[in-house]
Structure 1
Amino acid sequence: MLLFIIGLIILVVGGYLYGAFCEKVFGPDDRETPAVKLNDGVDFVVMKDWKNKLIELLNIAGTGPILGPIQGILFGPIAFLTIPIGCVLAGSLHDYFVGMISMRNGGAQVPKLVDKYMGSGMNKIYNVIIWILMLLTGVVFIYTPGDLIVNDMLGMDVNSNIIWVVYAIILLYYVVSTIFPIDQIIGRIYPVFGAILAASAVGIFIGIIRDGGASLYNITNTGLLFSTHPDGQRFIPVFFITVACGIMSGFHGSQATLISRTVQHEKQGRGVFYNMMIAEGFIAMVWAAGAMILFNRGTDITTGATAMVGIISRELMGTIGGFFAVAGVIVLPITSGDTAFRALRLMIAEQFHIDQKSASKRVGLSLVIFIPALLILFFAKSNANGFNLLWRYFGFTNQLVAVFALAMISVYLKTHGKNYWISLIPGLFYTFIVTSYIFHAPIGFGLESRLGLDPSSYVISYTLAAICVVLFYVLINNISKKRRNIIREADGI
């Protein structure tokens, strides 16, 4: 319980202080924002500050900050420290600077920012990765809420035909929210979703406090901070791929750039972008603690994360409260899936210069997006290991995209004569995480296993990852030198 409380203090106090520091580094001013200057009544629309905050939170908080921490707590109470520290120093920083840099560039999506600050070569690579991530995110956020609705709310088999009816309803909502102006659908329905989300998170938190720490201790009693993972997985890098959204997520960049088009004043950015990621960190902490309590009360540690959602909700909030908690978890992916598809539409439109003021062009582009999404969903549902494969690639791609964003932020800060180390250090760390993971993991190169070494050994993967970290640092410096004058002239410095 003590580590949990310390973690919350780090999250709140650290978030307040470091958020103020990040704001000072960026330097928001009174210039016109894209919402005011480029208002088109569709994607560029001035919305109230509280509504921007709520939409940003619901956009970024999918099932990641719930399912990830439930699995991540199996590594031990260390999660109560790494989640808030990572959220303050990396995740919130990432979201804030992406949102603010986008605002300074006419509400540009991340691919356009990568092109401007890192060059067309990097942009081509990034575009492929981010478009794949948006598709995977949208599909994951049809699959997971659909299964939760059928299993936990309707009490039916997720493999029955009813699941496709539920998927169709969710997809229909995504189509509507993707096509219509942001303030007409998302801006109106999200306050209701936000109330459900708040009730579920606060309810689980109250259940944890009521437990009084009696069940909040190391699951395997193997030490103060670490537990022996049931699958023998390494804390580094697997923990940071598993928890992902509760600490940092590349997907968030695509959502921050959406809201950068609806913020009226630059000085509202800290509350909208940085603080809402802190709120997501709180959600992650709460569900990690709830999972630890249930595991220590005897719940099988091999129970799937999705199944744990219902168990935690009912145990800590009772039948009725548990129903609303599950509803809150269902809300999260739905309110991320709709904007994932919306962001993908805008990215493709921006890349190929497709005017989005025309309703017919928005519909046509949306159809292009949803067809492959349906094919991926069908594969994930019809293949026994389909969803597991989908989720692993989603997690890895999510963090890889964040590395690109941190690199872009570092180049922006360095070329503007600002403290670029605040983004470069997290960028170097996550470069090590994603490269060591993909070099070692079975879904990647599986180097140790293929070379006949002990599968638990990370010697080669760690070595190659360290080389990639050095190359990342060299790359940032070279790009900054080559593009310094171009960027400074374009930004009017």
Structure 2
Amino acid sequence: MLWFLTCVAALIGGYFIYGAFVEKVFGINEQRKTPAHTKTDGVDFVPMSTPKVYLVQLLNIAGVGPIFGPIMGALYGPAAMLWIVIGCIFAGAVHDYFSGMLSIRNDGASVPTITGRYLGNGAKHFMNIFAIVLLLLVGVVFVSAPAGMITNLINEQTSLDVSMTTMVVIIFAYYILATIVPVDKIIGRFYPLFGALLIFMSVGLISAVAFSSEHQILGGFEVTDMFTNLNPNDMPIWPALFITIACGAISGFHATQSPLMARCMENEKNGRFVFYGAMIGEGIIALIWCAIALSFFGSLEALQEAVANGGPGNVVYSASFGLLGVFGGIIAFLGVVILPITSGDTAFRSSRLILAEYFNMEQKTLRNRLLMAVPLFVVGAVLTQVDFGIIWRYFGFANQTTAVMMLWTASAYLLRYNKLHWITTIPAVFMTAVCATFILNNSTLGFGLPMQISTISGVIFALAAMVYVIKISKGKGDSDFANETQKEEDTPADTESKTA
């Protein structure tokens, strides 16, 4: 129990200490008008209160990733919790903060546009393709996962016999509606209520374990296990753990979601709470599910058996009903189901906005929103027929690669404006090495090279990427740099007065 509480305290402390440091390095401007005010359109650019924006951001980024990922990561033992804490504070929350704040500084732009501004058009075109692919994979994962979980719940707890296809159709219908209507009509109105259900689920389950006479939080592990690989299949921690636990530590999917709330945030001073803080909240959710997975089943072998008999969804079902009974289990289980649904709809919404930016098509009219959204749902419907396990594997790698691109974008921004770039460069180097090593070593998705060769090559590639980003960022012409720096520091009022 002490280990778990220490990890939670570390995350909260990270928000107040390191989060404040990151905010200082970025340099907020409370007088600068945000896109919510300068580009208000009643559809995507809509000012909303800070608590509401925070809850929507938390639900947007917290799909099944901070639940399924930590459950799978728990097979490595308590070392998974260590990565959640370190990754969340120094990589994931920093990544989310910059993806949101750079969107605000660029008029609410999506991640490909931001990447293009600081890394060049080549990076922009790459991210346009990669972000759409990632979001489609996310949308499919966040249709299939909740559809399967709801189908299982209904069939297990009632006499009904509901097919998964029926649930997929229902969820897709909701996604279409949530993607095209104004952001404050469904997402802004109902997500705070879903947030209350999420809090109940998280607090209720971990409290049930804490006060259980049968289960103890991490009761069967020693302190040294935090630094030991206990995987029953002898799977290596490097680099798989850092791909497996994505959303609970660092996730590129978040870079596609932060601009949604960057278009609704009323002041830059709220950025640390909304972006950095939401990631810390997701880290706590990830810690809770990692601790439950390590505690509820009694051993890693039993956890592995539960995963083998129904995947992470089976772990969620067993723990929810085993700890809270039928009524509490249903509420907790629904709290888990809501997470992927509230991320799946915004995944398709983000896709629509990225395509709209690419084709320079305004989204105020319903016709234009449908033109962008319908093809996405057609492709998504086709992808739901692909095996879930295959989709999840590609999602994991695509997710972390997107995070790498966002971190390098943030580094390029900091370098360009002579700010402390190491806060993003160090995690960028690490995650680049992780992704490169993984794809070189993995025989299913990648090249199947030996681990030693893959690791050395991955590290070299990461260092080369660092040199490249530093070179192109520092190599900008003096006049261009001066003009962009002035533009960055000016408030809208300053700019208007100079123009006049």
User: What's 2:264 paired with?
Assistant: 262
Does residue 374 (structure 1) correspond to residue 367 (structure 2)? The answer is no
Letter in 2 for 1:347: I
Distance 1:306 1:114, change over 3 A: same
Q: Which residue of 2 aligns with 1:83?
A: 84
| Gap change, CA 1:225 and 1:470, over 3 Å in 2 | closer
Runs of at least 5 residues in structure 1 that lack an aligned partner in the other structure: 381-385, 449-456
* Residues 153-302 of structure 1: pairs in structure 2 closer than 5 A: 153-155=154-156, 162-211=163-212, 214=216, 216-217=218-219, 223=225, 225-296=227-298, 299-302=302-305
Q: Deviations over 1:101-151 (max 9, x none)?
A: 110110010100011100001111122111100000000000000000000
Q: How far is the alpha carbon of 1:179 from its aligned partner?
A: 0.3
- Give the distance between the partners of 1:273 and 1:165, measured in 2 at CA: 35
Letter in 2 for 1:24: K
1:394–1:185 distance in 2 versus 1, CA, 3 Å: same
| Cα shift at 1:76 | 1.1
DSSP 3-state at the match of 1:302: helix
> More deviation in 291-300 or 189-198?
291-300
How far residue 152 of structure 1 moved from its aligned partner, in angstroms, is 2.2
1:358 aligns with 2:365: yes
User: Corresponding residue for 1:460?
Assistant: 453
User: 1:168 and 1:175, CA in 2 relative to 1: closer, same or farther beyond 3 A?
Assistant: same
8 Å Cα contact 1:437/1:461 also seen in 2: yes
Instruction: Tell whether the 8 Å contact from 1:415 to 1:484 is kept in structure 2 after alignment.
Output: no
Amino acid at match of 1:174: Y
Contact conserved, 1:90 with 1:423, CA < 8 A, in 2? yes
Q: Which runs of 4+ in 1 moved over 3 A?
A: 211-215, 217-225, 297-300, 482-488
Letter in 2 for 1:118: L
Is 1:325 paired with 2:327?
no
* Partners of 1:112 and 1:123 within 8 A in 2: yes
The more displaced of 74-83 and 402-411 is 74-83
Match of 1:235, SS state, is coil
Deviation at 1:75, TM superposition (A): 0.7
Structure 1 window deviating more from structure 2 (477-486 vs 72-81): it is: 477-486
Quick one: distance in 2 between partners of 1:322 and 1:441? 38
- CA distance, structure 2, for counterparts of residue 328 and residue 47 of structure 1: 24
In the TM superposition, residue 161 of structure 1 has moved relative to its aligned partner by 6.6
SS at match of 1:183: coil
Alpha-carbon separation, structure 2, partners of 1:484 and 1:388: 48
Structure 2 gaps of 5+ residues are: 489-500
Q: How far apart, in 1, do the equivalents of 2:463 and 2:163 lie?
A: 51
Does structure 1 conserve the Cα–Cα contact (< 8 Å) formed by 2:255 and 2:406? yes
Q: Which residue of 2 is the match for residue 475 of structure 1?
A: 468
**Distance in 2 of aligned mates of 1:137 and 1:238:** 20
Q: Which amino acid aligns with 2:380?
A: A
1:452 is aligned to: none
Identity %: 40
Distance 1:67 1:268, change over 3 A: same
Q: Is the 8 A contact 1:96 1:274 kept in 2?
A: yes
Q: Normalization by structure 2: what TM-score?
A: 0.92
Structure 1 length-normalised TM: 0.93
Partner Cα distance (1:434, 1:302) in 2: 28
Secondary structure of the equivalent of 1:447? coil
Q: Which amino acid aligns with 1:472?
A: A
- Between the two proteins, the alignment pairs up a number of residues equal to 477
Tell me, in whole angstroms, the C-alpha distance in 1 between the residues paired with 2:154 and 2:194: 17
Task: Say whether the 8 Å CA contact 1:100–1:266 is kept in structure 2.
Answer: yes
1:178 Cα offset (Å):
0.4
1:490 matches 2:491: no
Return 268-277 or 436-445, whichever deviates more.
436-445
Q: Distance in 2 between matches of 1:83 and 1:168?
A: 34
* Candidates 298, 304, 309, aligned match of 2:316: 309
For the Cα contact (< 8 Å) 1:114–1:122, is it kept in 2? yes
Amino acid at match of 1:460: I
In the TM superposition, what is the alpha-carbon distance from 1:15 to its structure 2 partner? 2.0
